[in-house]
Amino acid sequence: MIRRVILATDPLRPQAERDADDLVCRLAEEADMFGSLMPELGWQLSIALAREVRATGHRLNPSVASFTGHLALLRRQRPATQAGQEFGLADAVGDQIAAMAAFGDGSAEQGAALLDALPPTQAWADYVAVLARVAPE
* pLDDT 10s digits, 55-70: 888 877 778 889 999 9
Range of the domain at 63: 2-134
Domains in the chain: how many in total?
A: 1
Percent of the chain with pLDDT over 70: 99
Residue type, 133: R
**Per-residue pLDDT, 137:** 67
Which letter, b or e, does each residue of 44-66 get, where b requires 16 or more Cβ atoms within 10 Å of its Cβ? ebbeebbeeeeeeeeeeeebbbb
Is residue 47 very low, low, confident or very high in pLDDT (cuts 50, 70, 90)?
confident
Q: What global pTM score does this model have? A: 0.86
Q: At what angle do helices 89-101 and 23-37 cross, to 10 degrees?
A: 50
* 131-136 mean pLDDT: 86
- What single-letter DSSP state applies at residue 12? T
Helix, strand, coil percentages (3-state) for the chain, rounded to 5, are 70, 0, 30
Alpha-carbon Rg for the chain, nearest whole angstrom, is: 16
Asked whether the predicted pLDDT for residue 78 surpasses 90, the reply is: no
